[in-house]
Amino acid sequence: MAETQIDASIWLRLDLAEEAKVTALIQRLARRHGTHAFLPHLTVCGPCLDPTSLPAASAYARTSPVLPLRVSVEAISSAVGNPFEAVVIRVVNSPQLSTFREELRRITGAGEGRPPHVSLFYGVGQRHTVMTFGAASLDEIARECRLEADAGEYLLERPAIAYPGDGGSWLRVSEWRVNDL
């Protein structure tokens, strides 16, 4: 990472009622499978940002007429390979969401982001190591999530910034620091 970058991501969080419901599901899955619980969110941009851009990013996020933003669920799916996208709610990349994400990437100097999604299950274990889950196991977890979290749409409204913990590793999920933007 270049010296002019910091390790941080900008998120949009769900509205409080939706966040509570999705958080409860994430916590149950984490306890059952020995992984980490985390706050549900949609990553707007990151993890490498220009630190001098954060005041402008914060101002844009707080004043954007796009927020709050209702997003439609495309699918709840699973995939082997990326531990932070083991089971996700894929959301439709609407023009409003795309514009919001592109503007914050431009402001912060962040690279191209992943397709928009809200993760439900991370394949990162309690010892901060990537765990191996087969496709069949992840498909079963995704089926369970479809029963509980397939709301059809979600409201994204609270911009936040997330940092890895003091160890500097995103794998140390329990140490993440999340602040309002």
State the CB neighbour count (10 A cutoff) for residue 95.
8
In a domain, 118, yes or no: yes
Query: Is residue 79 domain-resident?
Result: yes
Q: Please indicate, yes or no, if residue 1 is contained in any of the structural domains.
A: no
Check residue 17 and report its DSSP letter.
H
Domain count, the chain: 1
Look at residue 91 and tell me if it is in a domain.
yes
Residue 162 lies in a domain: yes
What's the pLDDT tens digit per position in 8-59?
999 999 999 999 999 999 999 999 999 999 999 999 999 999 999 999 999 9
Three-state SS at 74: strand
pLDDT digits (tens, 9 = 90+) for 115-147: 999 999 999 987 888 998 999 999 999 999 999
| Enclosing domain of residue 88 | 6-180
Q: What is the CATH number of the domain that holds 51?
A: 3.90.1140.10
Residue 117 included in any domain: yes
Q: Say if residues 76 and 146 touch (Cβ distance below 8 Å).
A: yes
- Bond preceding residue 40 cis, omega within 30 of 0: no
